[in-house]
Amino acid sequence: MARETAEAAISETQERAFFAPDGFPVPAAPTTTRPEPAALETAATAHAQGGGRLDVVPSAMSSVWRIVPALKTDLVLEEERGTFFLFIPVFLAVGVIAYFTAVGEPEFYALWSSVLALAALALVAGGQPILRLALTIALIVLLGVLAAKLEVWRTGTKIIGSDITTRVMGHVVLVEPQPSGRVRLTIDVAATERPTLRYAPDRIRVTARAMPEGLQAGSAVAGVVRLLPPTGPVRPGSYDFSFQSYFSGIGASGFFLIGPELDVRALKQAGWRTNALTFVENTRKGLAARIADGIGGVEGQIAAALVVGVRSGIPEPVNEAMRRTGLAHILSISGLHMALVAATVMGLLRGIFALFPGFASRYPVKKFAAGAALVAISAYLFVSGAAVAAERSYIMLAVMLTALLFDRAALTMRNLAIAALFVVARSPHEVMGPSFQMSFAATAALIGGYAAWSGRQRTPTHSAIDTAHLPLPYRMARKALFYAGGLALTSLIAGTATTLFGIYHFQRISPLSLAANLAAMPVVSAIVMPSAVIGMVAMPFGLDGYVFAVMGKGLSAMLAIANWFSERSPIDAVGLIPAGSVAVMTVALVLATLSSTRLRLTALPFLAVGLFMASSRQLPDVLISEDARLVGVRLGDGELAVNRNRPSAFAMENWQRALDTPDITRPRNEPYQALGNEVPGAIPFLCDAGVCMSRHGSGAVIAHAADAKAARGACAIASIIVIDDATAKNICPGQPVEIITKRDLAAHGSAAILLSATDPPVVTFAIGNHYRPWHTQRRFSREARGNPPYQRKMRSKPEGEAENAEAD
């Protein structure tokens, strides 16, 4: 009773009186009027009689109006947290994508003048924040377009326009043994002869069956080669080899007809860049040979790939098993490997510093470890050959380690944005590739997920549990479970973020990737990569053999895991998804990962729209290769009919994934006149007299003819005729037949056709009418100019020799 009286007295006391200075009146306490029980009962009665609506409950309209102030509050919070800075690389990337997907080539003067105009308008629009924000976004997007244009101008790769045989002399830059036994050489061309090319490429990539003794990177070589221009996409929208060759500086590819041989004649001295590449390449080759020979087998080849980036020795079945299980990212040096190298170096040094507590307490040992890790990943980048993916990952890790040197958090979204700015500014074309998209998507998703989890853990309801008093086995089991759960969550977040781009670029998913990564990543993280780092440190002392033996055991375990899951993995082809759906879902991913407030929820509408667009896709019915030799018709029920008994394996693999057609139906040697009958249904290719015909389920008949003469016999039956002849003209005059000649395909690349029972066919070519810089060489090919294939002219014999030949 006394306790209740005391609590009542305290409750009636104004706490403000304890804090008021002497001589100042105490402010009056606010009064709160609570409704009487009778009033509440009356309100409840009115609620029951009025259909369940209380006057104190806000209406739906008032709830909607409350969203606007909430959004403004969230926008202010995002601005205070620096979220707007994170969108700068996003808008730059939008500009880069706009440039590379544009129909025509923008002019420099138009871009520069637009940038200056937008910058001036943004400066004078200071009093109107919304207008200034819009102008700033437009300026950043335009700067992305300008950065891509500058890279194209700076690259300026010379690419040959047609096949040609010539004698090449140059310096070897790269030597890559292939699993087939051939050797691929990258050569900086110094001169050509017989014939001398007026527009010779600066660098070529050719293969050879045999190599002269002593040939290595830096050697001067000569030989007769057959050079071919890079091909375009194998189907519209797929990987463009011309694009990649242009930005790799490769002007032609091909093979040696005679040679190669070490050139004893004096060539012009190689430039400093060639000499530097030669030094790096020879260093890598020596390290790769030592590692591969020390471990042996396939494990040795994978170890060489992980340490120095030499992947050419890995058998294709191993690559396929790694792809099917979602473990292929382990084979290419990327952010995972850079992070593991940095973590290993930092962990070892922090452990060594901990043995000297006096030193560790007086000096910033964390900075020392971060600096050493930065040196380690720099050396790793050097020995790996500085591939694009490794270079991008190095920039990301370097930014994060530099942040540690300045007492800043390493794994933050701001550091990721800075790294993205570096990459986009230096190599804008990388934005178009799956490596860039998947790498930054996974990292952004992981940082965003980690930030959300950390914020949840800091709430009072999720405070840490003190386990010091618990038994040791329980604590160890709890830590192991926590590690496994963290690894599973990491794989799930990263896999979800990258699945979208994997489907778009490769039309495949790895159904068992989560389980395979859960099983393999502990081996890679705890055994393989630490052994690689320690082995490289021990190599100068001759102690690397023992360490790399441990690495080989870890790789054997990883291969066993990959093969086990690959054998049980279902079919992973999913078919094409529209580019528009990818763009919309990418917006959802950006909003969900970069926002830190309730604005994350704005990603849900974009996600829903993107999924709807993906579900309403329309797959091509017919695909045609750019050499006019291969035609594929989708018959339904997972069946793809082709017109050749031995089609290109590469093209077929791509087409099957894109069209989600696991079964291939090859042509039959039968008269094709039966296709003109009224019997409904799809029919595979029937071949006769130089013409192959197939009927689609829509009723359209697709024909492939070897030449113009054979094509004219198909005009009465076919709806579409593909002619492997660049000189074909006026094939079916006055008839409603779609004609696609080899000249059309040589000029505009592979084609895709949509068929309908009521509408005419819709033909889409991989390359438009307005050539971009990486496609300009196509106009110089013989086929694109309507010329027949080149035939070597026989030299005429002297008159006397001719008479003797006739007499004989």
Per-residue pLDDT tens for 357-368? 889 889 999 999
Kindly give, in sequence order, each residue whose CB lies less than 8 Å from that of residue 110, ignoring residues fewer than 6 positions away.
none
CB 160 within 8 A of CB 252: yes
Burial of 21 (0-12, 13-18, 19+ CB in 10 A): exposed
8: its two tokens: 């009542």
At residue 452, the pLDDT reads 73
Residue 736 sits in the same domain as residue 644: yes
At residue 469, the pLDDT reads 67
Measured distance between the N- and C-terminal CA atoms of the chain, rounded to whole angstroms: 140
Whether 691 maps to a domain, the answer reads yes
Residue 478 sits in the same domain as residue 610: no
Per-residue pLDDT tens for 489-542? 888 888 888 889 989 998 888 888 888 988 898 899 889 989 999 998 888 888
Whether 720 maps to a domain, the answer reads yes
The closest alpha carbon to 301, from 317, 278, 277, belongs to 317
Residue 332 sits in the same domain as residue 437: yes
Q: Compute φ and ψ for 69, nearest 5 degrees.
A: -60, -35
Q: How far is CA 549 from CA 122, 186, 342, 380, 553, in A?
A: 62, 32, 22, 20, 6
Among 155, 177, 196, where does a domain finish? Answer: 155
At residue 713, the pLDDT reads 86
Residue 391 sits in the same domain as residue 338: yes
Question: Read out DSSP for 526-589?
Answer: IIIHHHHHHHHHHGGGT-HHHHHHHHHHHHHHHHHHHHHHHHH----B-----HHHHHHHHHHH
Q: DSSP state, 50?
A: T
253: its two tokens: 């590819």
At residue 461, the pLDDT reads 53
Tally of CB atoms within 10 A around 652: 18
Average pLDDT for 19-34: 50
Whether 804 maps to a domain, the answer reads no
Long-range contacts of 761-768, Cβ-Cβ distance < 8 Å, separation of 24 or more: 761/622, 761/700, 761/719, 761/720, 763/738, 764/236, 764/620, 765/236, 766/232, 766/233, 766/235, 766/236, 766/237, 766/238, 766/240, 766/626, 767/232, 767/233, 768/103
Distance between CA atoms of residues 42 and 94, nearest Å:
60
Residue 203: its H or E element? strand 203-208
Whether 798 maps to a domain, the answer reads no
Residue 394 sits in the same domain as residue 511: yes
Taking the CA atoms of 742, 748, 751 and 752 in sequence, report the sign of the dihedral they define: negative
Distance between CA atoms of residues 303 and 324, nearest Å:
20
Distance between CA atoms of residues 291 and 537, nearest Å:
13
Per-residue pLDDT tens for 72-129? 788 888 888 888 999 999 999 999 999 999 988 999 999 999 999 999 999 988 778 8
Q: Has residue 747 got a pLDDT over 50? A: yes
The pLDDT-based confidence of 266 (bands split at 50, 70, 90) is very low
Average pLDDT for 666-671: 88
Q: Has residue 801 got a pLDDT over 70? A: no
Whether 309 maps to a domain, the answer reads yes
55-59, 626-630, 632-636: least confidently modelled range? 55-59
State whether residue 94 is helix, strand or coil.
helix
354: its two tokens: 């901990």
Q: Has residue 7 got a pLDDT over 50? A: no
Bond before 317 cis per omega within 30 degrees = no
The closest alpha carbon to 172, from 264, 30, 274, 92, belongs to 274
Whether 499 maps to a domain, the answer reads yes
CB 278 within 8 A of CB 217: yes
At residue 269, the pLDDT reads 61
Residue 657 sits in the same domain as residue 745: yes
Residue 673 sits in the same domain as residue 603: no
Among 155, 174, 189, where does a domain finish? Answer: 155
Taking the CA of residue 294 as centre, how many other CA atoms within 13 Å lie in the half-sphere pointing to its CB?
A: 24
The answer, as to whether pTM is greater than 0.75, is yes
State whether residue 730 is helix, strand or coil.
coil
Residue 381 sits in the same domain as residue 508: yes
Total tally of structural domains belonging to the chain: 5
Per-residue pLDDT tens for 587-624? 999 999 998 888 888 999 999 999 999 988 889 999 99
Kindly give, in sequence order, each residue whose CB lies less than 8 Å from that of residue 246, ignoring residues fewer than 6 positions away.
155, 157, 159, 230, 773, 774
Instruction: State the Cα angle at 319 between 510 and 210, rounded to 5°.
Output: 160
CB 180 within 8 A of CB 172: no
Average pLDDT for 193-204: 92
Q: Give the distance, in angstroms, between the CA of residue 455 and the centroid of all CA atoms in the same chain.
A: 31
Q: DSSP state, 26?
A: P
At residue 462, the pLDDT reads 52
Among 223, 239, 270, where does a domain finish? Answer: 270
Residue 678 sits in the same domain as residue 769: yes
Distance between CA atoms of residues 413 and 89, nearest Å:
12
CB 380 within 8 A of CB 372: no
At residue 396, the pLDDT reads 84
Angle between helices 388-405 and 434-457 (to 10 degrees): 30
Residue 610 sits in the same domain as residue 626: no
At residue 270, the pLDDT reads 61
318: its two tokens: 């191993």
Per-residue pLDDT tens for 372-425? 999 999 988 888 877 777 887 888 889 889 989 988 877 788 888 988 999 899
The closest alpha carbon to 544, from 553, 557, 531, 528, belongs to 531
Instruction: State the Cα angle at 548 between 542 and 550, rounded to 5°.
Output: 130
Average pLDDT for 546-557: 93
Average pLDDT for 561-574: 86
Per-residue pLDDT tens for 417-446? 988 999 899 899 999 999 889 888 988 888
Structural domain containing residue 738: 622-780
CB 595 within 8 A of CB 84: no
In the chain, the amino acid numbered 651 is A
Residue 319: its H or E element? helix 316-324
Whether 47 maps to a domain, the answer reads no
**Strand-pair partners of 573:** 508
Tally of CB atoms within 10 A around 762: 14
Q: Has residue 17 got a pLDDT over 60? A: no
Average pLDDT for 448-474: 66
At residue 407, the pLDDT reads 84
Whether 439 maps to a domain, the answer reads yes
Tally of CB atoms within 10 A around 805: 9
Q: Where are the alpha helices (DSSP H) in 644-700?
A: 649-659
Per-residue pLDDT tens for 174-186? 888 887 889 999 9
Q: Compute φ and ψ for 258, nearest 5 degrees.
A: -135, 125
Instruction: State the Cα angle at 551 between 550 and 552, rounded to 5°.
Output: 90
Strand 183-193 and strand 164-177: the pairing is antiparallel
Q: Has residue 788 got a pLDDT over 60? A: yes
Burial of 267 (0-12, 13-18, 19+ CB in 10 A): middle
Residue 126 sits in the same domain as residue 100: yes
Bond before 195 cis per omega within 30 degrees = yes
Residue 137 sits in the same domain as residue 217: no
Average pLDDT for 139-164: 94
